[in-house]
């Protein structure tokens, strides 16, 4: 079986640059990165379709649960960026659902693997460093 292309990045390492300062958000972000890295490793090791799908299913379920938690925090705190933040979440959920459908029909093709590593991983990290940092700072400012 040919080796698979994993894009410009294979895994992400949690470090202080990803910490929002909100304990629950950061705890869930760590779990999201771990799940994402587990998926990349399953693809890299060419695990069976069932095992990869189980990992994809867990990651998507956890992402959706995390988004619900964040959106509840936004509503509770009166976060003014709620609508745009929720739109980001909704668009990403649609992307994840499309990827799951693609995986079910195509399996872990080289193009699919590249898309997962580039789109999903990069989106999660960029979203944390932008949208989630703003949210955590707002919540912190309201607590003072």
**Residue 66 belongs to some domain of the structure:** yes
**Residue 28 belongs to some domain of the structure:** yes
Q: Residue 43, class by beta-carbon neighbours within 10 Å (0-12 exposed, 13-18 middle, 19+ buried)?
A: buried
* Mean pLDDT across 75-104: 93
The CATH number assigned to the domain holding 117 equals: 1.20.120.50
Domain range for 65: 21-143
Q: What pLDDT, in 10s, does the model give residues 105-122?
A: 887 777 777 787 778 888
Question: What percent of the chain shows pLDDT beyond 70?
Answer: 92
> What per-residue confidence (pLDDT) applies to 18?
92
Range with the poorest average pLDDT among 13-22, 36-45, 118-127: 36-45
Determine the Cα–Cα distance for residues 38 and 81; give it in Å rounded to an integer.
32
Q: What pLDDT, in 10s, does the model give residues 46-75?
A: 777 777 778 888 888 889 999 999 999 999
> What per-residue confidence (pLDDT) applies to 40?
82
Residues 21, 66: contact at Cβ < 8 Å?
Answer: no
* Mean pLDDT across 10-29: 90
Residues 62, 35: contact at Cβ < 8 Å?
Answer: yes
**Nearest one of 64, 51, 58, 60 to 107, comparing CA atoms:** 51
**Residue 13 belongs to some domain of the structure:** no
Which residues are CB-neighbours of 22 under 8 A, at least 6 positions away?
73, 135, 136, 139, 140
**Residue 130 belongs to some domain of the structure:** yes
Sign of CA dihedral 5, 7, 123, 37: positive
**Looking at residue 13, what DSSP letter applies?**
-
> What per-residue confidence (pLDDT) applies to 119?
83
Whether pTM exceeds 0.75: yes
**Residue 12 belongs to some domain of the structure:** no
| Residue 7 pLDDT level (bands cut at 50, 70, 90) | very low
């Amino acid at each position: 079986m040919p080796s698979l292309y994993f894009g410009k990045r294979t895994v992400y390492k949690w470090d202080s640059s990803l910490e929002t300062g909100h304990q629950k958000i950061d705890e869930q972000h760590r779990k999201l990165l771990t799940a994402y890295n587990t998926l990349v490793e399953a693809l890299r090791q060419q695990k069976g379709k069932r095992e990869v799908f189980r990992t994809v299913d867990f990651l998507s379920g956890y992402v959706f649960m995390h988004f619900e938690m964040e959106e509840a925090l936004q509503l509770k705190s009166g976060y003014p960026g709620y609508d745009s933040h929720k739109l980001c979440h909704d668009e990403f959920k649609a992307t994840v659902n499309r990827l799951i459908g693609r995986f079910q029909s195509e399996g872990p093709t080289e193009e699919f693997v590249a898309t997962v590593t580039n789109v999903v991983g990069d989106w999660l990290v960029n979203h944390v460093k932008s949208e989630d940092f703003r949210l955590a700072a707002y919540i912190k400012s309201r607590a003072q």
